[in-house]
């Protein structure tokens, strides 16, 4: 954690340590560089307003080639948040923030980082399941009868997230992350609504067979076997 406020460093470090994380702290860019030499770092909580090199500059030069980054700043305006995300931050939180919310964001970012990426063949081609064809390039879904099924952008992204991770349980938070990205303002209830719409479209063209199963108190699972054409 890089923050020039020792009180915040101590509180957050103690809280995260209690939840099983190994935490190094620094007050500025120089201290951060020293901390990074001590071993592999999975994630950095980085304050924007720092003495010397500011957090945005640090994020810009480190993004994409180092640890995940969560920006933490007293500047909570949408424009500041957008800038942070555009230069490579994985998430952005406004101060003051509840340590529990920061912990939840850390877990979500690390979960996304650890999620295996779909193969290049799948991301660039066609996914097939139960006679259906999902064209990732044309963003088109065809039924077993070769009928094009109209999907909204959100429905397509959600279906892709499910089809690329078949036969495994995905929580609502995971589906939000996979389908919409870390900066979404949607709530998990939106996932339930879109799942309901997808089910109707898929089940109507699949003889009533359920392709998306609800796993009670956990999330959803795409049941069909998926192959890449």
Per-residue pLDDT at 205 = 58
Cis peptide bond upstream of 183, omega within 30 = no
Percent of the chain with pLDDT over 70: 81
The model's pLDDT over 3-28, given as tens digits with 9 standing for 90+, comes to 999 999 999 999 999 998 999 999 99
Q: Could you read off the pLDDT of 86-132 as tens digits, one per residue?
A: 677 888 888 888 899 999 989 888 887 665 545 444 445 889 999 99
Look at residue 207 and tell me whether its pLDDT is greater than 70: no
How is residue 146 written in tokens? 């070769």
Q: Give the CATH H-level superfamily of domain 6-114.
A: Response regulator (3.40.50.2300)
Instruction: Delimit the domains of the chain by residue range.
Output: 6-114, 120-228
CA-to-CA distance for 139 and 169, rounded, in angstroms?
24
Beta strands in the chain (DSSP E): 43-47, 68-73, 91-94, 126-129, 132-135, 140-142, 148-149, 169-170, 212-215, 219-222, 227-228
Fold of 120-228: Arc Repressor Mutant, subunit A (1.10.10)
Residue 1 has pLDDT above 50, yes or no: yes
Cα 57 to Cα 62: distance, rounded to the nearest angstrom: 9
Q: Is this structure's pTM higher than 0.85?
A: no
């Amino acid at each position: 954690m890089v923050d020039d406020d020792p009180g915040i460093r101590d509180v957050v470090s103690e809280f995260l340590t209690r939840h099983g994380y190994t935490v190094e702290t620094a007050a500025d860019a120089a201290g951060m560089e020293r901390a990074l030499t001590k071993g592999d770092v999975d994630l950095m909580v980085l304050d924007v307003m720092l003495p010397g090199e500011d957090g945005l500059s640090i994020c810009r030069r480190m993004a994409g080639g180092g640890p995940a980054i969560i920006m933490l700043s007293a500047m909570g305006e949408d424009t500041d948040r957008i800038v942070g995300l555009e230069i490579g931050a994985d998430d952005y939180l406004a101060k003051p923030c509840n340590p529990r919310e920061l912990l939840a964001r850390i877990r979500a970012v690390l979960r996304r980082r650890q999620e295996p990426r779909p193969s290049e063949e799948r991301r660039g081609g066609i996914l097939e399941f139960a006679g259906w064809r999902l064209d990732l390039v044309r963003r088109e879904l065809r039924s077993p009868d070769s009928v094009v099924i109209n999907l909204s952008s959100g429905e397509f992204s959600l279906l892709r997230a499910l089809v690329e991770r078949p036969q495994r349980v995905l929580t609502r938070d995971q589906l939000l992350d996979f389908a919409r990205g870390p900066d979404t303002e949607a709530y998990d209830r939106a996932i339930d609504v879109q799942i309901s719409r997808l089910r109707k479209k898929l089940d109507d063209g699949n003889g009533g067979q359920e392709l998306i199963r609800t796993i009670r108190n956990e999330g959803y699972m795409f049941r069909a076997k998926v192959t890449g054409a």
